[in-house]
Amino acid sequence: MNCDNDWKLTPTSFEYFDGKVDCILCIDETGTPSLKNYNQNNIWFSMTGILIEGDAGFSIIEDLMDIKRKYWNDATFKGKRVIFHSREYRKKIGPFNPKFVDNKVLENDLYNLLAESDFKIITSGINKNYLAKSYSNPYAIYWFSLLFVVERFALYLEKNNKKGAIVLESRGRKEDKGLLESIIPNIEKGTEFVSDKACSHIKGIYFNRKRTIDNKQSYPFLEIADMIGYAMHNKISQNIESNLYNIIKNKIYNYPNINGYGLKIFNRK
């Protein structure tokens, strides 16, 4: 992290815990954040954040890297650092092609890591039908979904007297800058439902790619958010409780009383 307020000036990446925050919330999305030409197959958009404390974070990085080194030479595939990406993983393509890896054994190792790792989950889901019917001029879906997650993260930080930062997957310089400018007022002034005092515990919003520019490193927390986000999305949109969901559901913040804490749904109508 750079100087305390540099993150407000331009989209910046989060590289490591440096003592300025106690925890980070790494967020990935599932679905398409648009009301244009959507159908009943993609009426849901969700965001899932993985809330990780500093000490636990170091362990998660090492454990995930151990898995990568176990299955791929130098944790790389075709000259790039292997990343756990839900789509490639589910479709068994790229580094997850059965020609290169035993997926059943890999899945067992990965799920054991996720079950044993210390993190919490905060997820939001938006029903596009409900959003369109609720507002004559609906909020931007990505921003609205992020706001739900930010509010719950802020309340968690205030309750536990901690400082935190948010890490989003970069969607491009222009998109990142627009989102940053739109969300900063909510961090500085609070939201309709969460006070500025609570939001002041958030000390930065950062934007990271899946890999570094040289393709030699990745950001494991975003990879985990990606993998878990798909399981959470299926639970929200279709009430599907996959094996992965059942492994990690007790990590949803304030489980089993998750509604309004680790889960915000807008709305099921």
Residue 18: pLDDT band (50, 70, 90) is confident
**Domains in the chain, number:** 1
Does residue 199 sit within a domain?
yes
For the record, the structure tokens of 27 come out as 């967020």
Q: Give the model confidence (pLDDT) of 92-136 as tens digits.
A: 999 999 999 999 999 999 999 999 999 999 999 999 999 999 998
Does residue 196 sit within a domain?
yes
Does residue 78 sit within a domain?
yes
Query: Beta strand 23-30 with 164-169: parallel, antiparallel or unpaired?
Result: parallel
For the record, the structure tokens of 137 come out as 């001029």
Residue 269 pLDDT exceeds 60: no
For the record, the structure tokens of 181 come out as 């400018």
Does residue 261 sit within a domain?
yes
Does residue 36 sit within a domain?
no
Predicted confidence at residue 268, as pLDDT, reads 57
Q: DSSP secondary-structure letter at 172?
A: -
Give me the CATH number covering residue 144: 3.30.420
Does residue 154 sit within a domain?
yes
Which structural domain, as residue segments, surrounds residue 194?
20-31+42-266
The Cα 234–Cα 240 span in angstroms is 5
